[in-house]
Each structure stands twice: as C-alpha cells, then as structure tokens.
C-alpha cells in the first residue's frame, strides 16, 4: 500500500544521493526535476513526455518527407540528363545522315 505512493525523490534518507551533481543532471534531463530542483508532478511529467514523443514523431516525419523529396528530385534530374543525352545522340545521328545524303 505504501509503495504505491512512495516517491524516492522526497525520501529524506536519499537526499544526499539526489544532491549529487551527476544524479541531479540525470534527473533534469529525464524530466523528473526542474532546473531549480522542483520535483515535477507525475501528470506534468507524462504530459511533457507526450509532447517530446510527438515532437520527435513530427521531426521524423519531416525528415522522411525531405528525404523522399530529395530522392524524387534526384530521379527527375537523372531522367532529364538521360533525355538530353538521347536528344544529343539523335541530333548527331541525324547530322551524320544528312551529311551522307549530301555527299551522295
């Protein structure tokens, strides 16, 4: 029963452990305490975690969309190069044929 409401961050016996700079930095990065040392309530922590997850999801979607767009642009660029090369070869062939006809 007591374990359900137990919060190690408020345990006076662990105050020395949680005052360690490395541990405090970890707790801040994890979103469990604020920069000032205030313990973040569970509701607020979950809300912040959901926001972070959503932001990460949006960033991944954006990165994927940019990647697909770049691939598409590269494909179009390659097709344009191929088309120009084919046109150049066709013109050259026509030029050779024209020269042969004039020489005959």
User: What is the maximum span of the chain, computed from C-alpha positions, in angstroms?
Assistant: 106
**36 and 56 inside one domain:** no
What's the pLDDT score for residue 98? Answer: 84
**20 and 65 inside one domain:** no
Mean pLDDT of the chain, nearest integer: 93
Number of domains into which the chain is organized: 2
Question: What gap in Å lies between CA 103 and CA 96, rounded to an integer?
Answer: 11
Domain, as residue range, for 12 = 1-40
pLDDT tens for each residue of 72-97: 999 999 999 999 999 999 999 998 88
Question: What gap in Å lies between CA 55 and CA 67, rounded to an integer?
Answer: 18
How much of the chain exceeds pLDDT 90, in percent?
82
**34 and 50 inside one domain:** no
What's the pLDDT score for residue 59? Answer: 99
**18 and 1 inside one domain:** yes
> Whose structure tokens read 């598409």?
72
**60 and 83 inside one domain:** yes
**56 and 100 inside one domain:** yes
What's the pLDDT score for residue 96? Answer: 86
pTM score, two decimals? 0.63
**15 and 34 inside one domain:** yes
């Amino acid at each position: 029963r007591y374990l359900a409401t137990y919060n190690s961050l408020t345990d006076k016996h662990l105050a020395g452990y949680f005052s360690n700079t490395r541990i405090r930095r970890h707790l801040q990065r994890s979103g469990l305490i604020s920069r000032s040392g205030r313990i973040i309530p569970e509701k607020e922590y979950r809300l912040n975690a959901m926001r972070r997850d959503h932001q990460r999801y949006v960033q991944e979607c954006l990165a994927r969309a940019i990647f697909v767009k770049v691939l598409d642009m590269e494909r179009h660029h390659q097709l344009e190069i191929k088309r120009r090369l084919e046109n150049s070869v066709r013109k050259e062939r026509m030029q050779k044929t024209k020269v042969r006809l004039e020489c005959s």
